[in-house]
């Protein structure tokens, strides 16, 4: 029987992490919080924590055995934007960080991290947002980087006034998460991809620690910071790693097997199939522990595990994750999905 997973602690951890901005390329604040939280939570356990030059966080937990080390990876970087141009009207033309649809952020609040250390609030809007000033044809212009802009909440009406605020090309923009935790178990927020998975790792680690248990093998808990642009977990593991489990959100959508209450084990995505034997082992662990799970295939998806494979990693790679609806939009999951995912990770860590 598996140790108890503290779901309330997982949700509290997730809520705090979601409220720390971490767009791809600007994740240091979130990484520092994670390192501090891991260090304080597991202060009595024999864990070591290391930040790499790339900005990764790697936590090592010695196992009962050291002959087949294992890695668990999830990413803290999220979708976001960057200043591409300061326009003549003082507003910002932006470029995407990660792959998102322009329609998914229309009207969304943002925080602009200016080069001088100041932060400013703003909103992503169409250039023809006002219904009282533009024709229907103008208002229905395609949503893209030429027809969308950031309106800054500051006194600026021209390029020079915006530059005087300290805002420059290359400054990072974070999209508001809008975290909401409901009494019925639903959690909705942007950036559940992939902070929900980090919460699942935390939940599995906490269950081990509270039960006074040790992983069966040397285990490396790897938090990457460039997954949304394709190379997050390409490095940061010991050379003798045997297994790598990538934990990332499971796509809930029509024609998919995944749902918001289960852990999903991915069989194949855009880059191809995952390691068959490891997948079967994960499915067997889910069944043996009476977990609610699905096996699914994703047609437009790739994970950090594959980034390590493509970098030359000679390991078995698997992909699991909690079900998340409306990926790369205003996402939603349920605490049951977090619990099932954390329990699968826990079962895997304890398996011989």
Give the residue from 23, 16, 19 showing the smallest Cα distance to 40.
16
User: Residue 138: CB partners within 8 Å, gap ≥ 6?
Assistant: 128
* Cβ-based neighbours of 130, under 8 Å, separated by 6 or more: none
- Catalytic-residue membership of 283: no
Active-site pick, 106, 138, 227, 283? 227
Question: Do residues 71 and 220 make contact, with C-beta atoms less than 8 angstroms apart?
Answer: yes
Three-state DSSP string of the chain? CCCCCCHHHHHHHHHHHHCCCCECCCCHHHHHHHHHHHHHHCCCCCCEEEECCCCCEEEEECCCEEEEEEEEEEECCECEEEEEEECCCCCEEEEEECCCCHHHCCCCEEEEECCCCCEEEEEEEECCCCCCCCCHHHHCCCCCCCCEEEEECCCCCCHHHHHHCCCCCCCEEEECCCCEECCCCEEEECCHHHHHHHHHHHHHHHHHHHCCCCCCEEEEEEEECCHHHCCCCCCCCCCCCCEEEEECCEEECCCCCCCCCCEEEEEEECCEECCHHHHHHHHHHHHHCCCCEEEEECCCCCCHHHHHHHCCCCCEEEEEEEEEECCCCCEEEEHHHHHHHHHHHHHHHHCC
Q: Report, as residue numbers or ranges, the catalytic residues.
A: 227
């Amino acid at each position: 029987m598996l140790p108890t997973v503290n779901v309330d602690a997982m949700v509290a951890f997730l809520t705090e992490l979601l409220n720390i901005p971490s767009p791809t390329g600007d994740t240091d604040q979130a990484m520092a919080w994670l390192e501090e939280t891991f260090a304080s939570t597991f202060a009595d356990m024999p864990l070591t924590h290391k930040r790499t030059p790339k900005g990764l966080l790697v936590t090592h937990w010695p196992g009962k055995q050291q002959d087949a080390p294992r890695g668990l990876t999830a990413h803290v970087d999220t979708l976001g934007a960057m200043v591409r141009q300061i326009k003549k009207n003082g507003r910002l033309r932006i470029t995407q960080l990660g792959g998102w649809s322009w329609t998914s952020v229309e009207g969304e609040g943002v925080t602009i991290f200016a080069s001088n250390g100041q932060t400013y609030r703003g909103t992503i809007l169409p250039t023809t947002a006002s219904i009282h000033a533009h024709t229907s044809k103008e208002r229905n212009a395609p949503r893209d980087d030429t027809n969308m802009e950031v309106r800054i909440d500051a006194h600026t009406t021209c390029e020079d006034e915006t530059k005087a605020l300290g805002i420059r090309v290359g400054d990072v923009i974070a999209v508001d998460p809008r975290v909401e935790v409901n009494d019925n178990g639903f959690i909705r927020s942007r950036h559940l991809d992939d902070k929900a998975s980090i919460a699942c790792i935390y939940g599995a680690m906490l269950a081990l620690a509270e039960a006074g248990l040790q992983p069966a093998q040397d285990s490396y808990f790897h938090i990457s910071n460039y997954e949304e642009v394709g190379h997050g977990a390409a490095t940061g593991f010991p050379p003798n790693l045997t297994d790598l489990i990538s934990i990332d959100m499971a796509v809930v959508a029509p024609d998919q097997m995944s749902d918001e209450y289960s852990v999903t084990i991915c069989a194949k995505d855009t880059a191809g199939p995952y390691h068959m034997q490891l997948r079967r082992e994960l499915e067997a662990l889910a069944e043996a522990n009476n977990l609610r799970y699905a096996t699914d295939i994703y047609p437009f998806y790739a994970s950090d595990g594959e980034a390590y494979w493509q970098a030359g990693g000679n390991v078995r790679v698997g992909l699991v994750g909690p079900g998340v609806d409306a990926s790369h939009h205003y996402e939603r999951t349920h605490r049951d999905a977090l619990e099932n995912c954390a329990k699968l990770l826990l079962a895997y860590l304890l398996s011989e």
